[in-house]
Structure 1
């Protein structure tokens, strides 16, 4: 989880028509904190269905990018799904607007804010009366946000893209154990305090990025959600996707979600990594794709989503 807050360089457009693609793109301000791009197919039987894409952790923008990590993962996915006949809305996480306005207060951030923003987007577009079906598709951290938003808004479909199948404390312990095994017990102790709703003074500097006092309230709000329990409450067609080259969220997590929601469809995409790129080489090549915005997504990703939606909606 990237903690450093950097000012992102964003390209905001008004109405832009692609010269090579069969869609239009318009910037929409849902609120002062939520701005994004609405992709609309010029033709398509499903253009009245809206897919709401939810970004992963950190200060991530509508295209799936952060400073130092430009890969256009969400931009390419939005374009491909719109070319398949669906309207798509991708939006900057609220922290982007806060960074630009200079109003970031990390101690006030809560995981529930992300859920509220997702449901606000659905409510905004429902009021336009342009769409009759709504789909949440959440990437990584956005997977959990999307499955809760899908419950609250009675969505017509839900898609998990490289979403964790375990609560964040289990994921963090596993990651820390691989990197700094000597701190496993300390990490477990800290997480147990947070799960009780208790804050503490971190006395282990190397763990400050995870457990500094200002981020602890956010962690407490995040820890109360277990993806395996939340996905059981989703009552709409559900697609769970993971890549077998994902270094952050392995197919094991996707299978845990699939087991919890037995009516879901599980697809593991060969050679796809966490940011949807095709990887056939080693871990170094895998990580390099995180910062190669010119590299398109694995084509099987959008093909899988379109096939699922066309068969379910």
Structure 2
């Protein structure tokens, strides 16, 4: 199953990605794979971690083996997605939503592809839900997606991990950003988290409540979450399910946030690919009936 490397022109530069089709003529159900937060590339790798994960690449391969085509891409300004003049200060969360919509619409026009669903991991789950309407998506799959605003999740993590003398100003900064107000005096110890150049992005990100967004979607939803996720615990999947009671919920025992099953990423992505493929193929059958 050779991959096709793509470069999609955009108003800001180019969006680079990899198209992976199953064996045969198709047309195939297809998914757009959307990576999580930070400088994460199409394969799920980031320079913030000491070694490559390739979790999204492995997920794409697992889906192709089960008859599901996929397109995964480098986020704007990451890897091959060249964005001349891009500055952190100018980036907004909605830009990432726009990019997902563009990629999904391109995928939907491919001659060997049928309906397209959006599959997002972590932060990408919210992007998928927000982009679904403009992309005319068949369905949305949330993998390890948060069940609350990013600011609420950050507040919980800060209060549970930082000493009180740092937690207090951090929580105060979060409250200001939630209200759309930049923070001028950031303590040196918190500068990396709340540097002025990233604050506009955080403000744009904090506006969106994932549970509320999912509740308003008019397409089927699948929720996949690891029971051993230390960053975004399985209670988040339960919160999303409460907002969308008709969604399919799958909690994977032993799987963490990186889709590693008891330390084994190939095993974790194998389980996730099987769950996503079976659900999408069953969805196609139901819609055709």
TM-score of the pair, normalised by structure 1: 0.83
Q: What does residue 249 of structure 1 align with?
A: 232
SS at match of 2:223: strand
Per the TM alignment, residue 184 of structure 1 is displaced from its structure 2 partner at its CA by 3.1
Q: Within the alignment, does 1:304 sit opposite 2:282 as a pair?
A: no
Q: 1:206 to 1:160 in 2, by over 3 A?
A: same
Q: Within the alignment, does 1:25 sit opposite 2:10 as a pair?
A: no
SS at match of 2:182: coil
Q: What does residue 101 of structure 2 align with?
A: 119
Q: Answer whether contact 1:43 1:85 (CA < 8 A) is retained.
A: no
Q: 1:130 to 1:303 in 2, by over 3 A?
A: closer
**Which digits, 9 at most, give the CA deviation of each residue in 1:131-168, with x for residues without a partner?**
33011000000000001111332311110000000101
SS at match of 2:33: strand
Equivalent of 1:61 in 10, 28, 41: 41
Per the TM alignment, residue 99 of structure 1 is displaced from its structure 2 partner at its CA by 8.5
Alignment of 1:132-143 (within 5 A): 132-143=114-125
Q: Answer whether contact 2:16 2:81 (CA < 8 A) is retained.
A: no
- Work out the CA distance in 1 between the residues paired with 2:20 and 2:64: 6
**Which digits, 9 at most, give the CA deviation of each residue in 1:70-97, with x for residues without a partner?**
1110000000001100110011111215
Q: Answer whether contact 1:44 1:86 (CA < 8 A) is retained.
A: no
Q: 1:234 to 1:99 in 2, by over 3 A?
A: closer
Q: What does residue 40 of structure 1 align with?
A: 21
Q: What does residue 179 of structure 1 align with?
A: 161
Task: Give unpaired runs (5+ residues) of structure 1.
Answer: 1-22, 280-285, 290-294
Q: Within the alignment, does 1:232 sit opposite 2:215 as a pair?
A: yes
Q: 1:127 to 1:34 in 2, by over 3 A?
A: same
SS at match of 1:156: coil
Cα RMSD (Å): 1.9
Count of residues paired in the alignment: 277
Q: Answer whether contact 2:116 2:138 (CA < 8 A) is retained.
A: yes
TM-score of the pair, normalised by structure 2: 0.90
- Work out the CA distance in 1 between the residues paired with 2:227 and 2:109: 39
Give the stretch that moved more between structures: 256-265 or 129-138: 129-138
Alignment of 1:152-191 (within 5 A): 152-182=134-164, 183-191=166-174
Q: Answer whether contact 1:138 1:144 (CA < 8 A) is retained.
A: yes
Q: 1:151 to 1:87 in 2, by over 3 A?
A: same
Per the TM alignment, residue 128 of structure 1 is displaced from its structure 2 partner at its CA by 3.8
